[in-house]
Structure 1
Amino acid sequence: MKKITFILALFITFSPAIKAQNLIPFTVFHSNDLHSHLDGVKVPSGESFEKRGGFARLTTAISEIRKQKKDEIVIGVDAGDFFSGTIFSAIALSKEKDFPEYQFFVENKYDLLTLGNHEFDPMNDGLELILKKASENPNQIPLIASNLYVNHDSPLRKYIGENALIRPYMIKDFKSPKGSIKVGFLGVLGPDGCLVSRSTRGDVHFIGFDDQKSKEHLGDLADHLNKTIYDMRSRFKVDVVILSMHGGGKEAYDLAGKLKGLDILVAGHTHKQEFAIAHGVVVNQTGSYGENLGFLEFNFDTKSRKITMKDPEANHVITITDKIAENMSWKKRIDSWRTKSFLLMDEKTSPTEVVFTPKKSYIRSSVIPNPMGELITSSIFDELNSTIPATEDKIDVYLTSMGLVRTSFYKNTPYTRAEIFEAVAIGYDKTKHPGIEVVSFYLSPKEVKTVLGFMEIYRFISTSFSPAIAPNLSFKIRKWGIPFINRIYDLKLGGIPLSDVNRPIKIATNRYVVDNIETVKKITHGWIDLSPKTKAGEPVVLYPVHPKEYQLLIEHFKKNPNKY
């Protein structure tokens, strides 16, 4: 424990004794985009790798913060997407009593959570299941969703209200030997998070985003929040206002500039580590997967009624390295849940079996072409075609989006079955098992070009749409070109110009992509109206279902241990 105390002491500011009696110190620790990464993630370290994050080490870090700040106010906040992304999410969606992700927040005494877009991955019925488990926890922590509303007949309504599990805001008094402050909390799902979750949210909607037109209305969201902030300040006399937002970057900065009376914005969604003081509002994001823990130190001045940062130039995250000791209670539970998760997924093999060690690094990004995107899609393409009988058409094109490719693979780093799952972890099947099925259908050559044109240009609006396509379909991009006219060119399918292909093209992708086709129609106001078809040209009613993406990847890597 001495080692962890020393490490964290490097990050925690031990200010000289506060002489002014009117200053009340307080600290905000925060997380975002944990994505069920109970076990941490592997990152490069020289010619090898190290583990970052993990709930056992995060618990140790949070405990040490509370110990060092035992005479001060400590506030814990999470900015959403705490669920969905590893095999561990199988536990919460099962009949098992445990909900590991929520238990982490409860045991570490967070003050609030926010809903991100991936909390909706298991659809309404899956969301209802995890909300039920959370509501039954005797030490319930509220989910603050200030811009959420649901259909009148939604079964989720019983979890929503000012004193329910999901609340529009929260006001909480914090006390310490050095004084007390009253904090008003808000939480929102930002417009981009609304966009990419449109197909999974069912009867859940958000102020600030028009689901019918798939269009953001940031001004409406700001107006709504400003009314609540005004009420908090004038009626409830709060001292500090904190917004937990599942949104980051420009989206977060723009919203901060429209809000009056906001002090702190804990950001998320973009998976980037960022700190800024935007329009007088402190904005901080940790990155993703628990690699870092957000750490912000403030003083509240009881005379001016303002907050100031103790050291704006400090490092505002604590990196959760393997030098931080693991909390043994959490380590034991994680080991047990790892095995249980794979069994719940009907997998008969060990989740810790190593099946892939790349000879070079494959880095995930939205750049076209992207090495990680090509590795994923080409591997699935090859393995999928090996499963198709000789009497059926082979797959011509395998595509997905980089928003659904979740990790990078690093040189000389061994990857287990469970870790390969994490590369394509988004989505659940109809039985609520993690991992989404691959389906196939047909499009015309013209429609294929249209799909590429849309994904390539829309990636500048939402990087989630950046295309990842197996190299069997090749193309070039004119940076100066006109979208849908001459920006995409030199398209070739299997080395043959696409313009010379006079037959339906067999496409394979995951069901998550197919479910978002309607969103594309809304974004383009009907101009792009794709309809997956059978080979005969009829609209698909029942999609042919193939193995899941992670299953295809594992099998391909096992068959080709030295290929990549």
Structure 2
Amino acid sequence: MKKVKWAALAGTLLLILMTSACWFGNVTVTILQTSDVHHHASGYGPYLDYTPMDTTDGDEIMGGYARLATLIKSIREEQKRKCIPTMVFDSGDFTMGTVYDLTAADPISLKFFQMMKYDAITLGNHEFDWGPQGLAMLLSNAVANGFTVPVVATNMVVPEDNVLQGIKDAGIIVGTKVLQHTCGVKLGIIGLMGPDSDSKAPVAAPVTFNHDYAFIQQQVDYLKKTRKVDVVIALSHGGVENSGKGDDADLASNVTGIDIIASGHYHTATGEPLVIGPSKTIIFSPGEYGKYLSRLDVTYNIFTRKLVDYEFTLIPVDDSVEGDPQIQAVVDAYNAQIGAALSSAGLPDLDAPITTTSFALEKSSFQVTGIGSLAADSLRAVANGLLVEQGLNIDTSPPTPFHVGVVASGVIRDDIYPGKTGIVTFSDVYNMLPLGISPYDPSVPGYPLMSVYASGEDVYTICEVALTLAPQIGSDYYLNFSGLSIDYDISGAPMFQGVHDVGVYNPGDSLCMGDTTPVDPDGMYRIVVDLYALQMLYIVNDYLELYGLPTIEPLYPSRIDRDLAEGVQELKEWMAPLFFLPMIGTTIPEAIYGPGGLAMGRVY
């Protein structure tokens, strides 16, 4: 009888050992990470092509909440059967980038995090695109609709009288988070905004971010020494390149005790994790727009208190993954709500055709592109078209017309693809220039377009900034021009004298196909540009001062009014291509914006 009991007990103990993932003190934890999804709830690519519930139609769209949900649920269930806990995190920039920014009353990104039971998220620079008040509004609205996921923002410094302090006091935003699991491992979470990301959040003030390594070290030490956590994970919107460079690589090199950095901001998809710094910190990133899901299976020994093994997988979120029907039903419901709101504002529905294209319009670093030229042309043409509508002749003498349109590459988000149908929908057009909000009229998302004046000398400097300085600052600062033809010689770049000559097109020449006249250094030129570019001008001017060069001083900035009704009805940046594309025909002209099109010769 005793032998039978001992045999049963031994069998039970063996079963426990086999299913606890704790062989010889080893504990495995699975970590899943998203980052920089930018509200791509319906994936990245032509809106009409996204078919998440059909895996047989050759859908080339990547990402989408429904597909991410399927992967997260299936991995979580698979690991649960092995008694392995699965943690799900996001490293910021989950908002700002598509028509789903219009869901501010109940943000779809935060709804997704709640439904998928994320364990923690952090904030990216784009969460501050609407300022601290806008972020507080988004979080408050989400909480009112059931959001409870911890938002970890360790190095965010909020003044006591700022609206975000109330969000912190309510426990929605926390400095650190400790997650305890039955398998015996205790995880400490910090959430960080990196220096580069911070520099790209111009309206975050008066909120600031503490990038001092000594401060971050204190937070790590607090988690490990006071809270007795086993593993510290940094959800960092700092960024890392596959080469091993970036703010998160610097973080790992200068702060000890961080075991894992789930990185975001650079939109880097790490095929393999990087191991950097004295603590051998594991760094990985899933890329952009939900195209990939990061998976790290990490093994920790509870006796040696060290990570002993890990395996990383970058999982494609593509047509091979059938979408989760529950999440897709939620996305469909949001689509209907957005469509109703657009209709009430006299705008097309998400799937409404705006134009067609037979070729792809894609961004490329530090060079003229079709999509950049199209964006800039749309600003200039629509601004001048409004002058005509309002009774002003654009062929009158300067400076009444808009001579120049300028769009920074950083605000151009989604490329435009022909997809299966060649149809470019309202959603596709909106997603091209979707960012920002106006401090003057926050009721409608989108950066307001601004009218400014610049001397001819400043026009030369602006061109030099785009072509010579931008490669030193970053591709986001590359400027796309409409209305200018630039003779540039890169051999003059070291002396900041690469721009030889600049010609200006007639303001009525919307597609820049005619002759130009030389820009007069003593002349005055009117420019249409978005508010964000003006907000970021201080960074450019800092570099110009560093080189001992005159700074750019735009004159008479004012918002562009899109009609003559009382007050200012702002012309939002996303509206420009929406109005411009039908003006130039039923299809985007490849002869102008295609790979060998006329627009490619604007810088020569």
1:344-378 CA distances to partner (integer Å, 9 max, x unpaired)?
A: 45243221112233222222122222332122222
Give the deviation of 1:52 after TM superposition. 1.6
Give, in whole Å, the separation in 1 of the partners of 2:250 and 2:487: 34
Tell me the residue number matched to 1:131: 139
Please state whether the residue corresponding to 1:326 is helix, strand or coil.
coil
Tell me the residue number matched to 1:545: 561
Q: Given that residues 383 and 552 in structure 1 are in contact (C-alpha distance below 8 angstroms), is that contact kept between their aligned partners in structure 2?
A: yes
Give, in whole Å, the separation in 1 of the partners of 2:442 and 2:478: 29
Residue 76 in structure 1 maps to residue 83 in structure 2: no
Tell me the residue number matched to 2:582: 558
Tell me the residue number matched to 2:276: 278
Tell me the residue number matched to 1:240: 231
Give, in whole Å, the separation in 2 of the partners of 1:77 and 1:87: 24
Give the deviation of 1:39 after TM superposition. 1.3
Q: Given that residues 365 and 475 in structure 2 are in contact (C-alpha distance below 8 angstroms), is that contact kept between their aligned partners in structure 1?
A: yes
Task: Select between 483-492 and 261-270 the one with higher mean Cα deviation.
Answer: 483-492
Please state whether the residue corresponding to 2:315 is helix, strand or coil.
strand
| Identity fraction in percent | 23
Q: Which has the larger radius of gyration?
A: 2
Residue 418 in structure 1 maps to residue 422 in structure 2: no
Please state whether the residue corresponding to 1:549 is helix, strand or coil.
coil
Residues 32 and 528 (structure 1 numbering): CA distance in 2 closer, same or farther, change over 3 Å?
farther
List structure 1 runs of 4+ shifted beyond 6 angstroms.
Answer: 15-19
Tell me the residue number matched to 1:191: 195
Structure 2 residue runs of 5 or longer lacking an equivalent are: 1-17, 51-56, 241-245, 395-399, 506-514, 563-570, 591-604
Residue 461 in structure 1 maps to residue 473 in structure 2: yes
Residues 107 and 196 (structure 1 numbering): CA distance in 2 closer, same or farther, change over 3 Å?
same
For residues 88-167 of structure 1, the aligned pairs below 5 Å read: 88-92=100-104, 94=105, 98-136=106-144, 138=146, 140-160=148-168, 164-167=171-174
Give, in whole Å, the separation in 2 of the partners of 1:551 and 1:270: 27
1:125-153 CA distances to partner (integer Å, 9 max, x unpaired)?
A: 22221121234354511111111102232
Tell me the residue number matched to 1:211: none
Residues 206 and 476 (structure 1 numbering): CA distance in 2 closer, same or farther, change over 3 Å?
farther
Aligned length: 518
Residue 201 in structure 1 maps to residue 204 in structure 2: yes
Give 1:154's aligned amino acid.
N
TM-score under structure 2 length normalisation: 0.80
Tell me the residue number matched to 2:253: 257
1:35-75 CA distances to partner (integer Å, 9 max, x unpaired)?
A: 11111112799x98622211112111111011111121111
* RMSD between aligned residues: 2.6
Tell me the residue number matched to 1:12: none
Tell me the residue number matched to 1:512: 532
Give, in whole Å, the separation in 2 of the partners of 1:258 and 1:41: 36
For residues 316-355 of structure 1, the aligned pairs below 5 Å read: 316-344=313-341, 346-355=345-354
Residues 528 and 39 (structure 1 numbering): CA distance in 2 closer, same or farther, change over 3 Å?
farther
Give, in whole Å, the separation in 2 of the partners of 1:512 and 1:20: 55
Q: Given that residues 122 and 432 in structure 1 are in contact (C-alpha distance below 8 angstroms), is that contact kept between their aligned partners in structure 2?
A: no
For residues 479-490 of structure 1, the aligned pairs below 5 Å read: 479-482=490-493, 485-490=496-501
Give, in whole Å, the separation in 2 of the partners of 1:139 and 1:362: 38
Give 2:159's aligned amino acid.
N
Give, in whole Å, the separation in 1 of the partners of 2:491 and 2:251: 31
Give, in whole Å, the separation in 2 of the partners of 1:468 and 1:335: 35
Give, in whole Å, the separation in 2 of the partners of 1:361 and 1:317: 26
Give, in whole Å, the separation in 2 of the partners of 1:468 and 1:484: 22
Structure 1 residue runs of 5 or longer lacking an equivalent are: 1-14, 209-219, 534-538
Give, in whole Å, the separation in 1 of the partners of 2:197 and 2:247: 10
Give, in whole Å, the separation in 2 of the partners of 1:202 and 1:305: 41
For residues 404-483 of structure 1, the aligned pairs below 5 Å read: 404-412=411-419, 413-429=422-438, 430-456=441-467, 457-470=469-482, 472-482=483-493
Task: Select between 411-420 and 393-402 the one with higher mean Cα deviation.
Answer: 411-420
Give 1:134's aligned amino acid.
A
Give, in whole Å, the separation in 2 of the partners of 1:342 and 1:465: 33
Give the deviation of 1:104 after TM superposition. 0.8
Tell me the residue number matched to 1:10: none
Give, in whole Å, the separation in 2 of the partners of 1:166 and 1:19: 33
Give the deviation of 1:548 after TM superposition. 2.6
Give, in whole Å, the separation in 2 of the partners of 1:48 and 1:384: 40
Give, in whole Å, the separation in 2 of the partners of 1:439 and 1:463: 22
1:485-542 CA distances to partner (integer Å, 9 max, x unpaired)?
A: 4123332222546454652111001122223334444565696543332xxxxx44x4
TM-score under structure 1 length normalisation: 0.85
Residues 357 and 48 (structure 1 numbering): CA distance in 2 closer, same or farther, change over 3 Å?
farther
Give 1:254's aligned amino acid.
D
Task: Select between 68-77 and 325-334 the one with higher mean Cα deviation.
Answer: 325-334
Give, in whole Å, the separation in 2 of the partners of 1:297 and 1:89: 33
Residues 522 and 154 (structure 1 numbering): CA distance in 2 closer, same or farther, change over 3 Å?
farther
Give, in whole Å, the separation in 1 of the partners of 2:314 and 2:230: 24
